[in-house]
Amino acid sequence: MHWLRVLRSISRKTVEQGLCNSLKTLLKTDVYFHKSSYNLVNNLPFSISKAFRAEQNNLCIEFQDSISAKFPFVWLRDNCPCDKCVHFESKQKLLDTIALDFSIEPEQFHVLDNGSLKITWKAMNDGEHVSIYKPSWLHKYGLGFQLNMNMSVHDVLPPVKTWDRNKILGCIPELTYEFLMGSENGLKNVLENIYHYGLVIIREVPCEKGEVMKVMKKFAFTMDTKWRTNFQVITHPLQTDPKHLAYTGRQLEIHTDMNYLEKSPAIQALHCLNAISEDASSSDPGKSIFVDGYHIANLLKKENPAFYYILSTTPVKFKMHSHGLYYEKEQYIICVNRKGAVAEIHYNNRTMAPFEGPADRIVSFYEAYKMFGQKLRDEEYQFTFIMKPGDLMIFNNIRVLHGRNAFDPNFAFRHLEGLQHSLKSCCTTGARVLIEMGFHR
């Protein structure tokens, strides 16, 4: 999820266990974790026990929790937090990195009474300069330097909870509208479930237009798409020439939305305002279907690594021509992050353009694509239910795929109101709550 990559666990216990398990295999000899070092995820100031010059223009800093890290001088100077280097109001960087002398060294350095590190730099073109760094800030980045990799403790997120049909039915992530809107615990519950499961159902939402906007404004800002800020999905017999298949009663196979945009919206909300059915042709007319794409991708990787490799390295094009606008974007079906873990899923057979890859790869791509699609359609992995008026589903559109059973619009009426958001927006607007939850970077 690219998703997502910005959240952390709700409870301290979960954070500690996830952090400890993830780092045990990485830290072999150089770093000893004292029990108190578990506090390193709590944004507390960690005292510096020692700071001394190391080889190759580095400053070695040891912390009281036994973490020891080398900080390159040029990195410290480039990230000076003073008002001359960082704009006080906007917090944007003023220092010109390109203008720095990369051989810069400190004239002197020492730890202040309040625990901060003070460095007086040797006079350069801009004269003498003084930098003061908080120990908590140094500790935050120090672990990444100690591990000697593009990683810090803030990348060690607790694992998401992938699911199949049985798992999700055993712990359906849901809460009431009243609980969400009336308490901060409700907001935490929503954010936790979106992170862990990729979806959450809000029940008993007033069946009025605009309520989905009100709910989402609790923790995210809205995202304009070709449907503008919010959109209406209305299906009834009067729509004889709909501009989108979602407005018909046709079956919508499992898919992710808007893969043809430069950046697909990660968060989608659908609020059921009305649902009336007299359709006797189906036992479950209009039943909604959700599948955990992370789970399916991991299954494919385990059962057929070659197919997983094909879908994660072969770009495919998605396109859409609607409302006088044309969209086109190349994506991987399975997107992985720098650590090789599944981050995003882009899958929609209705908007995928003809394959343009090398001729000798076409058949193997189709074989991999078919196996992935068959698993997505397997009921063993599907969470299904009929949305009723007052239900509001929020889900991670680049993780959880969704679909809908067919129904006869001559005997059924449906009205959904929806919104899309970026995953980052959930973390930006709900920053205070996320900090308290331990998710903030």
In tens, the pLDDT along 216-245 reads 888 765 555 444 567 888 776 655 445 666
Closest of 262, 264, 225 to residue 345, by C-alpha? 264
335 and 399 assigned to the same domain: yes
Q: Which pLDDT value is given to residue 153?
A: 46
Q: Of 147, 180, 198, which one is at a domain's C-terminal end?
A: 147
User: Each residue of 328-341: pLDDT tens digit?
Assistant: 999 999 999 887 89
369 and 239 assigned to the same domain: yes
Q: Of 147, 173, 190, which one is at a domain's C-terminal end?
A: 147
Residue 41 lies in a domain: no
- Cα(142)–Cα(179) distance, rounded to whole angstroms? 40
126 and 231 assigned to the same domain: no
The CATH code of the domain that includes 76 is: 3.30.2020.30
pLDDT level of residue 424 (50, 70, 90 thresholds): low
Residue 2 lies in a domain: no
Q: Which pLDDT value is given to residue 67?
A: 82
Q: Which pLDDT value is given to residue 407?
A: 73
Distances (CA, A) of 327 to 230, 247, 258, 353: 19, 20, 9, 11
| Greater model confidence, 310 or 21 | 310
Q: Which pLDDT value is given to residue 413?
A: 75
Residue 6 lies in a domain: no
Q: Is the pLDDT of residue 151 over 90?
A: no
189 and 291 assigned to the same domain: yes
Q: Which pLDDT value is given to residue 127?
A: 72
187 and 130 assigned to the same domain: no
169 and 289 assigned to the same domain: yes
Q: At what angle do helices 305-313 and 359-376 cross, to 10 degrees?
A: 110
Q: Is the pLDDT of residue 188 over 70?
A: yes
- Cα(208)–Cα(156) distance, rounded to whole angstroms? 41
Number of H helices and number of E strands within the chain? 12, 20
Collapsed DSSP state (helix, strand, coil) of residue 98: helix
Closest of 14, 21, 3, 19 to residue 143, by C-alpha? 19
Q: Which pLDDT value is given to residue 432?
A: 56
Q: Which pLDDT value is given to residue 128?
A: 83
Q: Which pLDDT value is given to residue 130?
A: 96
Task: Name residue 180's amino acid.
Answer: L
User: Each residue of 204-220: pLDDT tens digit?
Assistant: 999 999 999 999 888 76
- Cα(130)–Cα(417) distance, rounded to whole angstroms? 55
User: Each residue of 33-50: pLDDT tens digit?
Assistant: 333 333 333 334 478 989
Q: Which pLDDT value is given to residue 433?
A: 58
Beta-sheet strands, E only, within 204-314: 230-235, 252-255, 267-277, 288-292
Average pLDDT, the chain: 80
Q: Which pLDDT value is given to residue 9?
A: 39
Question: If you average pLDDT over residues 90-113, what whole number do you get?
Answer: 91
Residue 379 lies in a domain: yes
265 and 384 assigned to the same domain: yes
113 and 181 assigned to the same domain: no
225 and 374 assigned to the same domain: yes
Q: Which pLDDT value is given to residue 282?
A: 56
204 and 336 assigned to the same domain: yes
Residue 27 lies in a domain: no
Residue 326 bridge partners (DSSP): 321
Phi and psi at residue 131, in whole multiples of 5°?
-120, 140
Residue 288 lies in a domain: yes
Q: Which pLDDT value is given to residue 42?
A: 33
The CATH code of the domain that includes 247 is: 3.60.130.10
345 and 427 assigned to the same domain: yes
Q: Which residue segment(s) compose the domain that 75 sits in?
A: 48-147
Residue 385 lies in a domain: yes
Residue 78 lies in a domain: yes
Instruction: Confirm if 438 and 311 have CB atoms less than 8 A apart.
Output: no
62 and 205 assigned to the same domain: no
- Indicate the number of domains in the chain: 2
The pTM assigned to this predicted structure is 0.71
Instruction: Confirm if 335 and 346 have CB atoms less than 8 A apart.
Output: yes
